[in-house]
Structure 1
């Protein structure tokens, strides 16, 4: 069975990490840090970011983030998502896992690297009220939207398809606020209710909008250039991400419930796909395994 599944496993690892022939150096480096990091082993961020529902969460986060015209402008104007979509995905995973599983110094250094790359991401966009405004990827306002969209996506997906979260939803939102602060977010939400209230405020205030540019991004996210053997599973992941969105956000994205969704609810299919991914990738990410080796070394010193 292992031999039969190995090609699928290799393609999945390649999609998530950028290559399948070796463990990335940054993952191995997580073993070398000199303290426990911002989050202890078994904490809410460890559980949420180490779980298979992150596969759905990542897609959901991209969809939700695209509704903010400032965030969308940065992706459209500067991202090489069409030429190198897997590279962009691997870079995002590197930051998430380094902040989650790395030492304090590694988390801070990774964040500074991201912020340095963001310095060039500047321009103008037309906001939800039709006003032309400047944007910068490092603006606290834009960073705040990216943070809450990310947090909501990973929390929602894990609540729907994952294991119990230590400290519950509030525990995850409160602890992951640290990542928002690292990125320059002034007042990241610290409870699930506050998180949803902030997203609701963006929506009610007209800061989010759909339109042709959003729909173009949605078309790419719906059908990215994945290996053929991964496409059937990805279609389920995409449907699951869409189903987990609020109806008002689905409408803004131009996504509608289809007869297929009513006849074949996606939750069970998504659970099956995620369970299969867990079999292929193992119960713990390579980043978590490196972090646990670091913690064992520190405990023995």
Structure 2
């Protein structure tokens, strides 16, 4: 099915169905990539202090993950108006939040540019690393295109897109530059423990043993070696992690109607296809030819 001859560009969203972002963000490996990103983000002392001091993740264990997933889904697959409205709400919230540096006692804003840049880079770096390792067919050129596209996402949260890595090489250089500032802290251990074993109750508690093995420990194992060493090591061996990741992706892709972490939450890409038509369905086959 082809794209209609006349289509309001605002309906196509910020990236559109012909982008790398549109195809990549529908892949089920993104769920593990998102958790891996949270592990990585927590190694930045100020970033994790802002999370621990402002977030109710203990009282709402799945809340942050689902809110982050909803935000990414809206900014990827929503209309331009929906994406900009979601970003405006996030910026407005961040403007109100402050935290105390546990080392210096200094009060700081959680939307400081260096903190926003770290969160962005840890996130998109995790999305790229995990999906490619899972078998999503991204060439170096497509990975560069994805990071260039994600400068738009960085701009949504208040960063200058020109100051954000727009290629794999630039992202690697950023990580090399920031690594000396990263370390395990008591706050990072709080997040580490939480992501390995969230304090869920009721029906969710029955699935906790499976989560610990298939989500928590596997996502941790997908971190780069230097990050795992900061946490004290552990995790599955590299080959086991890759095989488990690919098995997770294959099983999720086989689920009729699309894989869902929460059964009652419609994936954003499903809503986009309903809005635009079947021609817009995300698929690795639609990746640009670069």
Q: 1:88 maps to which residue?
A: 64
1:111 and 2:84 correspond: no
Q: Distance in 2 between matches of 1:33 and 1:174?
A: 20
Q: 1:42 offset after TM fit, Å?
A: 4.2
1:223 and 2:223 correspond: no
Q: Secondary structure at the match of 1:210?
A: coil
Which one of the candidate residues 5, 16, 21 is aligned to 1:45? 21
Q: Distance in 2 between matches of 1:88 and 1:137?
A: 16
Q: Deviations over 1:204-230 (max 9, x none)?
A: xx3211133212220111111244236
Contact 2:35–2:219, Cα closer than 8 Å, also in 1: yes
Which one of the candidate residues 227, 231, 237 is aligned to 1:249? 227
Which one of the candidate residues 214, 218, 240 is aligned to 1:240? 218
Change over 3 Å in CA distance of 1:281–1:99 after alignment to 2: farther
Change over 3 Å in CA distance of 1:52–1:72 after alignment to 2: same
Q: 2:267 maps to which residue?
A: 286
Matches within 5 A, 1:1-301: 34-126=10-102, 130-165=103-138, 167-186=141-160, 187-203=163-179, 206-224=180-198, 225=200, 226-229=204-207, 231-257=209-235, 261=237, 265-280=240-255, 282-283=257-258, 286-296=267-277
Q: When the two structures are superposed, what TM-score results if normalisation uses the length of structure 2?
A: 0.81
Q: 2:4 maps to which residue?
A: none
Q: 1:98 offset after TM fit, Å?
A: 0.6
Contact 1:250–1:256, Cα closer than 8 Å, also in 2: yes
Q: Distance in 2 between matches of 1:85 and 1:212?
A: 19
Q: 1:54 offset after TM fit, Å?
A: 0.8
Q: Deviations over 1:267-294 (max 9, x none)?
A: 2122222322333363487311221232
Q: When the two structures are superposed, what TM-score results if normalisation uses the length of structure 1?
A: 0.78
Q: Deviations over 1:135-157 (max 9, x none)?
A: 22222111111000001011101
RMSD: 2.6
Q: 1:245 offset after TM fit, Å?
A: 1.7
Structure 2 gap segments, 5+ residues each: 1-7, 260-265, 281-290
